Amino acid sequence: MKWLLFLLLPTALLAQEKTDVLFNRYYAQSIEKLREIYTVRNAAFICQPGNAGTNYQQEVKDYIRAFKAKAPEVGVLFYSVSPDTLRIWLGTLQQWRYAETKIKASKLADIEYQLRTALGVESLAATRAPLAKTGDEATLRSSIKKSAIAKPASLQKAIQDATALLLPASIADGLKGLSHLFIIPEYNIGQFPFHVLQPYGNNSYLVDSLSWSFVPHLCNFEAFAMENAMKMGKPNQLKANNPLVVGNPAYSQEAPFYLPDLPGAAAEASLVGNALETTSLLQASANISTVKQLAPKADLLYFATHGHFDNSKMLDGSFLAFAPDSSSATGLLSARDIQQMKLKAELAILSACQTGFGKVFAGGFHGIGRAFYKAGVNFSVISLWSVNDAATKELMIRYLVKLMNPDYFYPARQLQEAIQAVKKKYPEPANWAAFSVFGFTY
């Protein structure tokens, strides 16, 4: 038996060493992939390329340790996508796990679309999402709805397929005991609704057991940990003394998009304003000039309005919609405008569809959430699709209440808890799985 252990131990160590080497190699490659996104944004690249001996795995471990007593509950999930392979690492304070799947990048997009279709979110978009004015509005929306209905899919099968791909058994086993995941995605991985994945071998969802957030970039972990040492691994809460709350602006008829009225967004923003003891900007008062004037001074941004992502005109075609005025006949605030602003708010809640979407690059995607991060906002709550008005209103009010109470892993755990409460009343995942946090949580 002793000689058997002698033989097995080096084999295990060699396997772990191989995993460590692979992580450092692909992590370095991912940093270089990220450069493309910064180039598109016309932004200085914040990551310094490491040398051949840079131990990125150790940097991630040190970042996890910065959560102090909560460190054993933290995991970092890193996805690396090559033309024919998906590689996944789960790092915790205790161990590292690795899995790889042979799959073409194009197939990842297919699985994402199948899940969205099964959730029924394409049908929701047909009724309320912004639509380019390329024809009669009723005809365009009817066509989208018919297309969505014509491609039925089993929701359970779609969830199982996405779970098997993104959280295979060898990774899922390492989730037990974790309270929060930092997800570092490449390609389109960041556009999957992770809340609905079921990695625990039963019918429970990921959101039932842990919170998670998307990491904006892969470097400067040490600098972030030092800058936020007083907050990381400790309970934090929302402190909004000068919030900016906007809901259902009076949309422009001159905008190149059909922008349906959103009465539910007005009700939502009014409730949020009351809770924060501020006057919400609604209809004509929610004009683009006022928003641009007040946003840099606000310590919380809350926008319940239309959002749109444009894959071809990424920065200039993607927008949040506000009321028009003399400075803008369309009232559309582009992603480029947003990222050029100087914002001091720590949190932006974007209760608007498609704010979680973006143009897909090898190193991830660039959308409206990343534009707010570039403008100085640490955290953005973003959405992948249009959500039922009643469910959204209840989710956001519960979230706001949770944010005001100190808790760990701010502001992601508070979103998790709000979702857990809302899904009891609205069990369909399409009603609660759209929202996620983009940023380094505390």
d(CA 41, CA 308): 18
In tens, the pLDDT along 274-293 reads 999 999 999 999 999 999 99
pTM for the model stands at 0.90
**In the chain, what are the domain boundaries?**
2-105+157-223, 233-438
Work out the pLDDT band at 135, boundaries 50, 70, 90: confident
- Could you tell me which of 306, 311, 300, 308 has the C-alpha nearest to residue 278? 300
Q: Which residue has the higher pLDDT, 322 or 356?
A: 322
Mean pLDDT of all residues in 70-85 = 94
H/E element, 275: helix 263-276
The answer, yes or no, to whether residue 43 has pLDDT greater than 70, is no
Give the 3-state DSSP-derived string for the chain, with helices as H, strands as E and coil as C. Answer: CHHHHHHHHHHHHHHHHHHHHHHHHHHHHHHHHHHHHHHHCCCCCCCCCCCCCCCHHHHHHHHHHCCHHHHHHEEEEEEEEECCEEEEEEEECCCEEEEEEECCHHHHHHHHHHHHHHHCHHHHHHHHCCEECCCCHHHHHHHHHHHHHCCCCCHHHHHHHHHHHHCCHHHHHHHCCCCEEEEECCCCHHHCCHHHCCCCCCCCCHHHCCEEEECCCCCCHHHHHHHCCCCCCCCECCCCCCEEEEEEECCCCCCCEECCCCHHHHHHHHHHHHHHCCCCEEECCCEHHHHHHHHHHCCEEEEECCEECCCCCHHHHCEEECECECCECCCEEEHHHHHCCCCCCCEEEECCCCCCCEEEECCEEEEHHHHHHHCCCCEEEEECCCCCHHHHHHHHHHHHHHHCCCECCCCHHHHHHHHHHHHHHCCCHHHCCCEEEECCCC
- Residue recorded with tokens 């897909």: 360
In tens, the pLDDT along 375-409 reads 999 999 999 888 888 999 999 999 999 999 999 99
Residue 47 has a pLDDT of 66
d(CA 304, CA 381): 12
With beta carbons less than 8 A apart as the criterion, state whether 249 and 263 touch: no
Question: Which two three-digit tokens encode residue 292?
Answer: 């641009």
Point out the least confidently predicted range of 39-53, 115-129, 139-153, 393-407. Answer: 39-53
| Amino acid letter, residue 174 | G
- 89 Rama class: left (phi>0) / alpha (psi -120 to 50) / beta: beta
Instruction: Spell out where 56-95 has E strands.
Output: 74-82, 85-92
Fold of 233-438: Rossmann fold (3.40.50)
Mean pLDDT of all residues in 39-45 = 58
The answer, yes or no, to whether residue 420 has pLDDT greater than 60, is yes
Residue 41 has a pLDDT of 55
Report percent pLDDT > 70 for the chain: 85
- Could you tell me which of 213, 198, 186, 175 has the C-alpha nearest to residue 87? 186
Using only the alpha carbons of the chain, give its radius of gyration: 22
Point out the least confidently predicted range of 154-163, 309-318, 343-352. Answer: 309-318
Contacts of 375 (CB under 8 A, 6+ apart): 338, 339, 340, 341, 342, 343
Work out the pLDDT band at 10, boundaries 50, 70, 90: very low
Question: Which two three-digit tokens encode residue 272?
Answer: 């949020």
With beta carbons less than 8 A apart as the criterion, state whether 233 and 71 touch: yes
Q: What angle do CA 381, 386, 390 make, to 5 degrees?
A: 90
Q: Which residue has the higher pLDDT, 313 or 371?
A: 371
